[in-house]
Amino acid sequence: MDKFFKEINKYVVSILLFVAGVSFLGKYLSGDALESQPTAMLISSIALIVVGALATPYVLSRLQAMHYRIMMIVATVAAVWLGYEVFYSVDEEIQFRELKTQVDAETVQALKDIRAAQEAHQSIYGVYCDDFDSLQRFIFEPVIPVSFNMGSFNDTLPEAKSAEMGLILTRAELPAKAEEMEMTEEALIELIAQDSVTLKVRDVIYTTFYGENFAPEVRASKRLPRVSVDSLWFNPLSGERFRLETDSVESGGVLQATILVKDPTPFGREKVKKDTLRFGSLTEAHTDGNWRN
């Protein structure tokens, strides 16, 4: 029994190297559900198997001094090359992650902007726009209602009493009222804004979704990147148009519109599972996005 263990001990290093090499080779060949494996892993696994075979007593007893020198040179070159590959793979991974972060952020922002436009369209027309060309036209249509209020009410002259006395005007009525009072429209507006007269303005004006949400000054005030409406519907890296689907679902006896918009070319490595950025659902009436922020 002692003789058996002595013989086995001679092969411990070779066995460990061989097992490690086979394990790495198996992981490389099988791949991974989340991360791809570098080529250096394949080379390293083969190297471990080869070294394990060369480290057996049987092989070592038959090697000459010249063989050792050759093996040392080959091993040194291989070590330098593998070291470079490891450094390169780490540097490449850092660049990949930085690019992924940038592309994902731009894609998410585009999806958020599309969602905002679709929600505005749905609030006005009751349905989501079923194609991006129509949605782009909608963005520039003056159909977004905005309350226009000027002048404040008080306990002495509340809103109901002011309306009864004809003191509440619309914007269209301002020019005639200014002419009646023998002043310019601008002067009358300034008096109303300063509450220097009993007149008030209560009206609804219509503006565009672009003016309210995508105009450069609006985006700057919200610390958001500028919007190029012409390219809003495309993946920022691949240039492919986002996929848009609309439908309806019955919920509580009421038919509700549904929408699904997703990125057709999610960013990632080949042969690696990728997360498709999207918002909405065709089976549930919501516009939630699947991104984290």
The predicted-structure confidence for 235-255, as pLDDT tens digits, reads as follows: 988 899 999 999 999 887 889
- Which residue did the predictor score with more confidence, 221 or 28? 221
Whether residue 217 is predicted with pLDDT greater than 90 in this model: the reply is yes
pTM (predicted TM-score): 0.64
Q: Which position has the token pair 């007893």? A: 61
Q: Which of 57-61, 183-187, 222-226, 288-292 has the lowest mean pLDDT?
A: 57-61
Tokens of 175: 């020019």
207/140 Cα distance (integer angstroms): 9
Which whole number is the average pLDDT over 165-177? 89
Which whole number is the average pLDDT over 205-212? 93
CB-CB neighbours of 105 under 10 Å: 14
Whether residue 9 is predicted with pLDDT greater than 90 in this model: the reply is no
244/253 Cα distance (integer angstroms): 26
Which whole number is the average pLDDT over 85-112? 81
Summarised one tens digit per residue, pLDDT across range 53-89 is: 766 666 666 666 666 567 656 666 665 666 566 556 6
Q: Which of 231, 223, 275 is nearest to 110 (CA)?
A: 231
Three-state secondary structure call for residue 19: helix
Whether residue 98 is predicted with pLDDT greater than 90 in this model: the reply is no
Three-state secondary structure call for residue 63: coil
Angle at 72 between CA 48 and CA 49, to 5 degrees: 10
Summarised one tens digit per residue, pLDDT across range 34-59 is: 445 566 666 667 776 776 676 666 66
- Which residue did the predictor score with more confidence, 18 or 133? 133
Whether residue 180 is predicted with pLDDT greater than 50 in this model: the reply is yes
153/168 Cα distance (integer angstroms): 10
Whether residue 5 is predicted with pLDDT greater than 70 in this model: the reply is no
pLDDT for position 33: 43
pLDDT for position 272: 67
Whether residue 2 is predicted with pLDDT greater than 90 in this model: the reply is no
